[in-house]
Structure 1
Amino acid sequence: MFDFKEVISVSLILFSVIDILGSIPIIINLRRKSGHIQSEKATIVAGILMVLFLLLGKNILNLFGIGVDDFAIAGALIIFALGAEMILGVEIFKPDPEADASSTSIVPIAFPLIAGAGTMTTILTLKAEFHQINIAIGILINLVVVYMVLKSTTWLERKLGKTGLDVLRRIFGIILLSIAIKIFKTNLFDNF
C-alpha cells in the first residue's frame, strides 16, 4: 500500500495547491498587522482539518448523493482555476478582510489559506487516484513544510525577493493546470 512514488506525487500536488510559498506575501502582511503568528497553532489546526476531510470527506459526499468521481471532476475545475490564478496573477479566491487579529493564526492562515476549499477538494480528489496512507503521508510532509515556512517568513522574504516569489508561483501554477487536466480526463473518461 505504501508507495514512495505516490507519496512524492501527492506531496507535490498538495504543495502546489496549498501554495505556502506563494502565500508568503499574505502571511507577512498578516504578521505585520497582528504582530505575531503562532506557527505551531496554525499548522496543527490546518493538519486536523485536512486529516478529518481525508477520513470523512467521502461520507459527507454520500450524504449529498455525490460520487468521488463527480467531486474529482469538480475539484479538477477548482484546481484549474487556482493554477490559472497563479499564472495570470489575478485574485479569484479572496481572503476575508475582516479577520480578527488575535485569531490570525487560525483564520485566515490555518483556514482558508492552508486548509481551504482548494486543499480540501484536492485531498478528496486525490482519493480517487492514490491510497489513503500515501495521501496522509503527503499531508504530513506538507505540514512540516508549512511550519518551516511560517517560522521563517522574514528570512524567506529577504532571500527570495518579489521576483523569486513570482517565479515560484507561476511554476506551481503550470503544474496545477497540468494536474487538473489529468484528473479531469481520468475521471471523466472512466465514467464512460
Structure 2
Amino acid sequence: MHDFTTLTTLAVTVFMGFFAMMNPIANTAVFVGMTASKSPQKTRAIAFKALFCAFCIVAAFSLLGKGIFSLFGITLPALRLAGGILVFLVGYHMLQGNQSKIHTSQQATKVAIQNEEDEGDIAISPLALPILAGPGTLATAMNYSASGDITHIFITIGAFAILCGITFVCFLTGPKLVEKIGEGGISIITRLMGLILTVIGMQMLIQGVHDAIQLYVPVGS
C-alpha cells in the first residue's frame, strides 16, 4: 500500500521535473515564432498534434521502460546516473540563459521557421521531437517510472498529461503571453527552471550512486 502523502509528494515532484524540463513559457516563445504566419485554425492543429505526439512518446517510454531495460540489460542505477548527468547538463545550460542543445534542436527550429512546412511536419519535428519530448524529458519519465510500479507509471503519465494541457493553453494564448512576460521575464523563468533541473539532476545522480553501491558492493565489505 502506498501512503497518500508519499504519492502526493511523488506526483508534485514528477510534475515539477517535467515542468522545468519542458519549460512551457520558453517553448511558447519558440512556438509563436514557428507559427507566426499560420492561421488560428492551423496554429491550434499544430499545437494539438505536437502535444499529442509528445504525450504518446513519453507514455510509451514510461510504460515500456522496464521492458527496454530487460532487453538491453540496463540497470536502474545506470539509468539514474546517465539521466542525472543529462538532466543536470540541460539545467546548467538553462541556468546560463541558454536553451540546451541536448534538449532542443536550434538548427531544426531555424529550418522549420524558414520553410513553410505543413502543420503535420512542424508538429512532429521539431516540436514534438526534440523540443517537447527531448532526451531530457524521456530520461525524466523513465527515471520516475522505471521501478515498474504501476502506481508510479500512472502518476508519471498523468503528470505529463496535465502539463501537456497547460502547455496547450500557453500555445493558444502565445502572442499575448509572450508580449506580457517579455524577453526579460522569459529569461528569468528559464534560469529558474534551470536551477530546479540542476538540483533534480544532482538528486538523480546521488540516488544512482547509492543504488549502484547497494547493487555492486558486497554487504560488509
Task: Name the residue aligned to 1:81.
Answer: 89
1:153 Cα deviation from its structure 2 partner:
0.8
Query: Partners in 1 of 2:37 and 2:176 — Cα distance?
Result: 18
**How much has 1:121 moved relative to structure 2?**
0.9
Matching of residues 8-19 of structure 1 within 5 Å: 8-19=12-23
Q: How does 1:140-151 map to 2 (within 5 A)?
A: 140-151=161-172
Partner of 1:121: 139
Distance (Å, rounded) in 2 between the aligned partners of 1:58 and 1:85: 30
Residue 58 of structure 1: which of 43, 57, 66 is its match? 66
Q: 2:217 corresponds to which residue?
A: none
Q: Unaligned regions of 5+ residues in structure 2, if any?
A: 214-221
Maintained 8 Å contact 1:34/1:104: no
Indicate conservation of the 8 Å contact 1:69/1:128, yes or no: no
Amino acid at match of 2:30: I
Distance change (3 Å), C-alpha of 1:91 and 1:9? closer
CA distance, structure 2, for counterparts of residue 88 and residue 79 of structure 1: 14
**Closer/same/farther in 2, CA of residues 43 and 90 from structure 1, 3 Å limit:** closer
1:63-101 superposed Cα distances (whole Å, 9 cap, x missing partner) = 221112201110111100110110113454133243462
Q: 1:177 aligns with which of 191, 194, 198?
A: 198
Given the alignment of the two structures, is residue 29 of structure 1 paired with residue 3 of structure 2, yes or no?
no
Match 1:105 to one of 99, 103, 123: 123
**TM score, norm. by length of structure 1:** 0.91
Partners in 1 of 2:159 and 2:72 — Cα distance? 27
Q: Which runs of 5+ in 1 are unaligned?
A: none
For these two proteins, the number of residue pairs brought into alignment is: 192
Contact 2:84 2:204 (8 Å CA) reproduced:
yes
Distance 1:160 1:147 in 2: 17
Instruction: Give the stretch that moved more between structures: 60-69 or 80-89.
Output: 60-69
- 2:210 equivalent among 184, 189, 192: 189
Q: CA deviation at 1:173?
A: 0.5
Change (3 A) 1:143 1:91: closer
Q: Any conservation in 2 of the 1:72–1:124 contact (CA below 8 Å)?
A: no
Aligned to 1:69: 77
Shift of 1:110: 1.4
> Aligned residue for 1:6?
10
User: TM-score scaled by structure 2?
Assistant: 0.80
Larger radius of gyration: 2
Greater Cα shift, 75-84 or 123-132? 123-132
AA of the residue aligned to 1:108: P
Give the share of equivalent positions with the same residue, in percent: 23
Deviates more, 1:61-70 or 1:145-154: 61-70
- SS at 1:66's partner residue? coil
- Separation of aligned partners in 2, 1:30 and 1:72: 34
**Correspondence for 1:39:** 47
